[in-house]
Amino acid sequence: MPAFIETYNCRKGSLNPKKYPVSSREDLENCLASAEFAHKTGALLDINKRVEFLSEIKAQIINNKEALFEVYSTESSLNRIRFNAEFDRTLMQIDTYGDAALELNMRKKQSVLTDRTISKTPMPLGPIAVFGAVNFPLAYSTLGGDVMGAFAAGCPVIVKGHTLHAGTSILSANLIYKAREKLNLHPGVFGHLLDIGNDIGQAMVQDPRVKGCGFTGSFSGGMTIYRLTQNRKDPIPCFAEMGSINPVIILPNEKELNHHINALVQSITTDAGQFCTKPGVIFCPEPMLHKAVKMLNDSFENVAPHPMLHPSVQQRFQQRLTEINKCFKGKAYFNTDKEFGITRGFFVASMEQYLITPALQQELFGPAGVIVAYESEDELLRGLKNLEGQLTATIIGVNPEESIFFNWACANAGRVILNGVPTGVSVVSDMHHGGPFPASSDDRFSAVGEASILRFVRYVAVQKSEHK
């Protein structure tokens, strides 16, 4: 196995010059031993230390914005606009978790009974393993929500950075190291690892010193990690966000179809469609189908070229399109841009075609989607039964909350969008980013917003008897 990791610039079509060393089992052992000691000695138990740590990390990020952009853009091929949005979101998350930590600390309660008192206190779980996400080098990776949420809860963190943006992950880790050193915190509060294969990550989540895990990525990757955490002698919570088809339902009473179709195409193709909340399938009333298809085609043709995150990501996307074309004999509207060779477009299917083509019912990570015609509410409900748990479900039309499909959406998705698009997950207190399996491993918890800090705490009740 190579001893170094190389990253790729899809805009230039070449490898980046810098190489990054692969972590060893000894590196992992050092991180685990140090994290365990930091937790046992209460390195982040003091709420003031936690808030100060988060604040200093934020300051380090702000001071190194341009350095982050340089490596971020060359490794992910995402542009300045996307970087600025993700950068601001990363800072907002840190503020959110700092506030959440303070609020959680103040939420301690005491019940006074006739002969005793009972008080309940949130405690950090212990060392948390976090896996960086391929499509968010900042906000869901080494500086992302899982890491900052765990810090806010008082937990040491060990990050396995994503190999496709290894340089961004290492620079991010160095900023956390600087913040830790400036505040003279124990080195075990944070560790960082890189691995080309799966050995380090698997060993990390199987180690008894790790007490929780955060993951954002594919279903296969998420389930592998989830099973490892549950098959331990001492199973631990694994919070895996594993993607979604994010169905869109257009109601027969919709009167502004053009507006919504254009918005959906933007949602499908922004940053080459590499979002977990990208709309994957649009259910359209049969009488509107011809008009909707024309609008979709016109809108797709106006999309500017955008590279994917890495040649391997593009290859998997193209393979999925090939797989669908082999088994689906319906209509397809696709074009390939000359600059980056990315195929964009959509498949058109009847409900019958959709139901007999499993490949159309799976997540398609890239700038493509499916539009399915339905003739009646009953037919659409039959089609929706084939869909498993989703991160989002969207309903477009007049008074969508009164639709027969609203209850279905609430029962099967973590977030329901009415007359909008699912991309653009806001970091606010009322956000819920998760969903019934297989969208996530535990839909009771959100991966976004201050409530996500609750993933990394456990409660201890202390009962004290009153002696007279």
Average pLDDT score over residue span 274-280: 96
Confidence of residue 362 (pLDDT cuts 50, 70, 90): very high
Q: At what angle do helices 80-106 and 65-76 cross, to 10 degrees?
A: 120
Average pLDDT score over residue span 20-47: 97
Does the structure show a pLDDT above 80 at 108? Answer: no
Does the structure show a pLDDT above 70 at 463? Answer: yes
The pLDDT value recorded for residue 111 is 83
pLDDT digits (tens, 9 = 90+) for 224-257: 999 999 999 999 999 999 989 999 999 999 999 9
Is residue 256 annotated as a catalytic residue, yes or no?
no
Per DSSP (E only), the strands in 258-306 are 281-285
Structure tokens given for 259: 């507006």
The pLDDT value recorded for residue 2 is 64
Return the domain boundaries, the chain. 4-242+440-465, 248-418
Average pLDDT score over residue span 433-457: 93
The pLDDT value recorded for residue 243 is 86
pLDDT digits (tens, 9 = 90+) for 69-83: 999 999 999 999 999
- Rounded distance between C-alpha atoms, residue 459 and residue 468, angstroms: 29
* Residues belonging to the chain: 468
Q: Please give the CATH superfamily to which domain 4-242+440-465 belongs.
A: Aldehyde Dehydrogenase; Chain A, domain 1 (3.40.605.10)
Is residue 241 annotated as a catalytic residue, yes or no?
yes
pLDDT digits (tens, 9 = 90+) for 173-194: 999 999 999 999 999 999 999 9
Confidence of residue 419 (pLDDT cuts 50, 70, 90): very high
Confidence of residue 112 (pLDDT cuts 50, 70, 90): confident
Range 231-245 burial, b when 16+ CB lie within 10 A, else e: eeeeebbbbbbbbbb
> What percent of the chain shows pLDDT beyond 90?
93
Average pLDDT score over residue span 413-430: 94
Q: Please give the CATH superfamily to which domain 248-418 belongs.
A: Aldehyde Dehydrogenase; Chain A, domain 2 (3.40.309.10)
Does the structure show a pLDDT above 60 at 1? Answer: no
The pLDDT value recorded for residue 109 is 76
The pLDDT value recorded for residue 449 is 85
* 218 and 438 Cβ atoms separated by less than 8 Å: no
Does the structure show a pLDDT above 80 at 275? Answer: yes
Mean pLDDT of the chain: 95
Q: How far is CA 189 from the centre of its chain?
A: 23
The pLDDT value recorded for residue 468 is 55
Average pLDDT score over residue span 80-97: 96
- Rounded distance between C-alpha atoms, residue 413 and residue 409, angstroms: 6
Of 363, 366, 369, nearest to 317 (Cα)? Answer: 366
Of 457, 434, 431, nearest to 444 (Cα)? Answer: 434
Catalytic residue among 10, 155, 238, 276: 276
Does the structure show a pLDDT above 90 at 107? Answer: no
pLDDT digits (tens, 9 = 90+) for 281-315: 999 999 999 999 999 999 999 999 999 999 999 99
Confidence of residue 34 (pLDDT cuts 50, 70, 90): very high
Catalytic residue among 36, 241, 254, 363: 241
Confidence of residue 386 (pLDDT cuts 50, 70, 90): confident
